[in-house]
Structure 1
Amino acid sequence: MFWQTTRFRIDLSRPRVMGIVNVTPDSFSDGGRFSDASAGAAHCEQLLKEGADILDIGGESSRPGAAPVSVEDELARVMPVLTEALQLGCPVSLDTAKPEVMQRALDLGVDIINDIQALRAPSAVDCVAAHPGCGVCLMHMQGEPRSMQAAPTYDDLLSTVRSFLAERTQVLLNAGIAAERIVLDPGYGFGKTVDHNLELFRRQRELMVLGRPLLAGWSRKSTLGVLTGRGPGERLVPSVAAALAAVQHGASIVRVHDVAATVDALKVWSAAGLA
């Protein structure tokens, strides 16, 4: 299976590692570390040296309780880093839910739009549909970041997530966006309790009936903290374990902070014949 993006047709016959580049002052695990353009660009280069296949650059925190960011502020944060990242010869993803930011990034040449709101903002689908080949990642989220963890409830978690992702995929197909451009994300930690996350994790393979590659984002999530008692900066081992388990359960792409450790673990996993 392949993921078609603006400049790259990404072969998903082996698991791919998406490295996280947060150019925000308030990300839950590394807020402020890479919030200026030079630090963000340097971090992109470092993640590629560590083996990242894709860079995912975001300028607005999606942590629980995060305050919204204006279009102007988000553009000021991400555009300089995107400009530098696009010179590095790898697929570049933009993590945003704002159509105005999507459009500017696509005009610049960005390869992928990674949207936690699954292109539900007005004109977001049109923006992506107008582009001849960018990739897109659609994520499930109950509610919105400021309130999503207040009291998430589901009658049937797996059915809800699966139906949502199927419906959003069909919206894109109806808009003329080719299926090979679409990747799906269950949305671990987004409007889900610890029990919800673990149930969805155990049943992740059931989402493969949707026929599109799966992206899993477990890196440093609070559920791992609950399971291990570790703070966000101490979750390297649980994050790598979760990434391997996600791949074992059918994920084609893992979105991570700790690229080098994840890449090394996947090499061992593959050598053990688990690929």
Structure 2
Amino acid sequence: MITGPVACDARVYLRPERFLDSPIGRDGAFARLAGGLQYHAGYELIVVEDGRRVQRVALDIAQLPDVIAALPDTHAEAVSRTAARLAAPRAPITLGERTIRFDQPQVMGILNLTPDSFSDGGAHLGDPDAAAAAGVRMAEAGAAIVDVGGESTRPGAATVWEGDEIERTVPVVERLARAGVAISIDTRKAAVMEAALAAGAGLINDVAALLWDDRALEVVVQARCPVVLMHSPNPKSGPHSEMPTGDPLIETYDWLEARVEAVVAAGVSRDRILIDPGIGFGKPLAANLAILNGLALFQGLGCPLLLGASRKRMIGALSSEAPANERLGGSITLALKGAEAGAQMLRVHDVADTVQALRVWRGLRDAALTAV
């Protein structure tokens, strides 16, 4: 239980922990996470003052009501709201004629139309038919969404003029839409968003969380489309500004919480917002690992959680500097780490392999729900 008083200016967080293979025979001792396939037996309650964790308390599910009752009213209300968001099923999103449900992890396939992306730059540039065919193959392999991008977000990449980005992406979006594929557009630019939406895209995936282009938020509000808000330390100066030296998990959570509230206040329905902690964007290895180890905390924002860790540099850093095209094993490991934390969307390069891994993972979950 909490070992001392909680200051009025403290912040209190709730992270699901002690995940279970099965809830069978554990009535009252577990909670279901976000209406998905994961169940947990407890929470970590974290009290933060002046940016530092001053208390970390392990709670059983049944203890939470008593802890809430002992907290000051403001904190009690916040923890109750967070607990409700942790449990609430995530609403599906509609992309064109496709409905994407979040009662199990979904895969988003990466289709880069750039000469310089860190992993597959140049593979599909300049040939919209071949690029669209690659996207269709991703959908056939099990990708719920194909994420089309025309500007590299690797460190040091040059900003692409919006006209060039539109020229790269829109012909491919049009072809994928005609093929019945659900499409997201990976861009920071309002003009590219508008062009891609008109061509058949249904989701905006913005690494700048609608902060880089002053018109981006207006486009999403008017289009009433779903949007992914990704964390980076300073989106206005680019996705790879350095992370402040503090608690990366808490700072990223606070940033995303504030951004979600701002976007909701501007007129975007909360059930159309996905969040992405931005693994590898302005974050050193230690920060990425801290965020991944605490990933379930982000479920407290009540939005579908997208994890994009595929082929990221951190995998090379942990595996003898393996190049990007030799990071499949690490990518699958991180995808399953996301699934274990309840992530609703996994953004990956290797669609077929990730889908296979998730199907085996899902088989284990299903088997655990069968009474022996």
Question: Which range, TM-score by smaller chain?
Answer: over 0.9
For 1:256, the equivalent position in structure 2 comes to 348
**Is 1:5 matched with 2:99?**
no
TM-aligned CA distance change 1:251 to 1:97, over 3 Å: same
| Deviations 1:247-274 (CA, angstroms, capped at 9, x unpaired) | 1112110000000000000011111117
Note if contact 2:315-2:327 (Cα within 8 Å) is conserved in structure 1.
yes
Q: Which amino acid aligns with 2:91?
A: F
Displacement of 1:146 after TM fit? 8.2
Identical aligned residues as a percent: 40
| Deviations 1:216-243 (CA, angstroms, capped at 9, x unpaired) | 0010000001111211010011101110
For 2:170, the equivalent position in structure 1 comes to 79
Note if contact 2:274-2:304 (Cα within 8 Å) is conserved in structure 1.
yes
1:26 to 94, 100, 116: 116
Please say which of residues 42-51 and 55-64 is displaced more in the overlay: 42-51
SS in 2 for 1:130: helix
Q: Identify which of structures 1 and 2 has the higher relative contact order when contacts are C-alpha pairs closer than 8 Å and 6+ apart.
A: 1
SS in 1 for 2:343: coil
For 1:269, the equivalent position in structure 2 comes to 361
Displacement of 1:145 after TM fit? 10
Of structures 1 and 2, the larger Rg is shown by 2
1:178 to 259, 266, 269: 269
For 1:247, the equivalent position in structure 2 comes to 339
Note if contact 1:188-1:218 (Cα within 8 Å) is conserved in structure 2.
yes
Q: Distance in 1 between matches of 2:241 and 2:345?
A: 29
Displacement of 1:150 after TM fit? 6.8
Displacement of 1:181 after TM fit? 0.7
For 1:234, the equivalent position in structure 2 comes to 326
1:104 to 175, 185, 195: 195
TM-score by length of 2: 0.71
| Deviations 1:32-85 (CA, angstroms, capped at 9, x unpaired) | 001121221111111112111110000000001111000111011001001011
| Deviations 1:61-112 (CA, angstroms, capped at 9, x unpaired) | 0001111000111011001001011122232000000011111112223110
Displacement of 1:163 after TM fit? 1.4
Q: Distance in 2 between matches of 1:144 and 1:24?
A: 21
Q: Distance in 1 between matches of 2:268 and 2:92?
A: 13
**Is 1:128 matched with 2:220?**
yes
Aligned length: 274
Q: Distance in 1 between matches of 2:92 and 2:153?
A: 25
Q: Which amino acid aligns with 2:314?
A: T
Q: Distance in 2 between matches of 1:13 and 1:151?
A: 35
For 2:206, the equivalent position in structure 1 comes to 115
SS in 1 for 2:204: strand
TM-aligned CA distance change 1:151 to 1:179, over 3 Å: closer
Q: Distance in 1 between matches of 2:298 and 2:241?
A: 26
**Is 1:63 matched with 2:149?**
no
Tell me which protein shows more strand as a share of its residues. Answer: 2
SS in 1 for 2:283: coil
For 2:139, the equivalent position in structure 1 comes to 48
Unpaired runs of at least 5, structure 1:
none
2:104 to 11, 14, 35: 14
Q: Which amino acid aligns with 1:177?
A: V
Note if contact 1:64-1:147 (Cα within 8 Å) is conserved in structure 2.
no
Unpaired runs of at least 5, structure 2:
1-89
1:221 to 312, 315, 326: 312
- Deviant stretches of 4+, over 6 Å: none
Note if contact 1:2-1:9 (Cα within 8 Å) is conserved in structure 2.
no
Please say which of residues 217-226 and 107-116 is displaced more in the overlay: 107-116
Note if contact 1:64-1:146 (Cα within 8 Å) is conserved in structure 2.
no
Q: How does 1:152-163 map to 2 (within 5 A)?
A: 152-163=243-254
Q: Which amino acid aligns with 1:268?
A: V
Q: Which amino acid aligns with 2:300?
A: V
Displacement of 1:160 after TM fit? 1.5
SS in 1 for 2:365: coil
